[in-house]
């Protein structure tokens, strides 16, 4: 669910630069005392949250196959029942113990990002369109050299039937690229590498 921002004027775009972590995740960079903890860090759930606990991990990889060590990734998703923790959610009440949003900087050594979350439920395609989308999470990526934040989705490899019905996945003309949106699940861990360029380039969405 994307919040309507048509009442705001578009801000001029610029690369995130080398200081994005200082502003967004100061504790991660070793700057303490600004916030008790970095906004969006930690699990997206607590011990009362409904749903299946999973860990999503991956890397942001450039055209040479090298993981970016200064990427910043944000996640946004529905709860286990398919409701968003948002004022714009009108279909029902979201789980009050699920945050629905998180932020993670890439590890400075491995380039890996990690989110501890729950597997989301299915949500309608549009307000007046009853078709259900497959379980998925939305990811937003910024890094030095990326002029405008990149938006993509991660679907789940253990949901082949739902993925086959998904209205978004069905619109992708080049079917060989669909796997770039599928996170590979092994137990409670889902691995999803984001490729910025090259043969395995991830599909990004203009939203």
Give the domain ranges of the chain. Answer: 20-195
- Confidence band of 174 (pLDDT split at 50, 70, 90): very high
With 90 as the cut, is the pLDDT of residue 109 above it?
Answer: no
With 80 as the cut, is the pLDDT of residue 3 above it?
Answer: no
Q: Give me the phi and psi of 43, to 5 degrees please.
A: -60, 150
Q: How far apart are CA 200 and CA 27, in angstroms?
A: 33
Across the range 142-167, mean pLDDT stands at 93
Structure confidence at residue 108 (pLDDT) = 82
Across the range 153-166, mean pLDDT stands at 97
Q: Which residues pair with 50 in a beta bridge?
A: none
Q: Compute the 3-state secondary structure of the chain and give helix, strand, coil in percent, each to the nearest 5.
A: 10, 30, 60
With CA atoms as reference, report the closest residue to 120 among 45, 40, 51: 51
pLDDT: which is higher, 43 or 16: 43
Q: What is the DSSP code (8-state) at residue 181?
A: G
Question: Domain 20-195, what fold?
Answer: Protocatechuate 3,4-Dioxygenase, subunit A (2.60.130)
This prediction's pTM: 0.89
- Confidence band of 2 (pLDDT split at 50, 70, 90): low
With CA atoms as reference, report the closest residue to 138 among 126, 130, 127, 149: 149
Q: Extract the tokens encoding 164.
A: 């086959």
- Confidence band of 105 (pLDDT split at 50, 70, 90): very high
118 three-state secondary structure: strand
Alpha-carbon Rg of the chain, whole angstroms?
A: 17
Q: What is the dihedral of CA 160, 164, 165, 169, to 10 degrees?
A: 120
Measured over all CA atoms, what is the biggest interatomic distance in the chain, rounded to whole angstroms? Answer: 50
Residue with tokens 């999470």: 137
Q: Extract the tokens encoding 192.
A: 């999803």
């Amino acid at each position: 669910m994307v919040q309507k921002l048509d009442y705001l004027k578009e801000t001029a775009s610029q690369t995130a630069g080398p200081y994005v972590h200082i502003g967004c995740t100061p504790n991660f960079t070793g700057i303490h005392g600004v916030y008790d903890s970095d906004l969006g860090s930690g699990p997206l759930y607590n011990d009362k949250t409904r749903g299946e606990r999973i860990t999503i991990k991956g890397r942001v990889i450039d055209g040479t196959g090298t993981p970016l060590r200064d990427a910043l990734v944000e996640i946004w998703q529905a709860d286990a029942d398919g409701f968003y923790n948002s004022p714009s959610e009108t279909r029902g009440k979201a789980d009050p113990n699920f945050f629905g949003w998180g932020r993670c900087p890439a590890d400075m050594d491995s380039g890996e990002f990690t989110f501890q979350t729950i597997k989301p439920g299915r949500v309608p395609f549009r307000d007046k369109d009853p078709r259900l989308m497959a379980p998925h999470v939305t990811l937003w990526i910024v890094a030095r050299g990326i002029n405008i934040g990149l938006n993509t989705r991660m679907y789940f490899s253990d949901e082949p039937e739902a993925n086959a019905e998904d209205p978004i996945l069905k619109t992708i003309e080049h079917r060989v690229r669909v796997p770039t949106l599928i996170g590979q699940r092994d137990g409670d861990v889902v691995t999803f590498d984001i490729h910025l360029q090259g043969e395995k380039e991830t599909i990004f969405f203009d939203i």
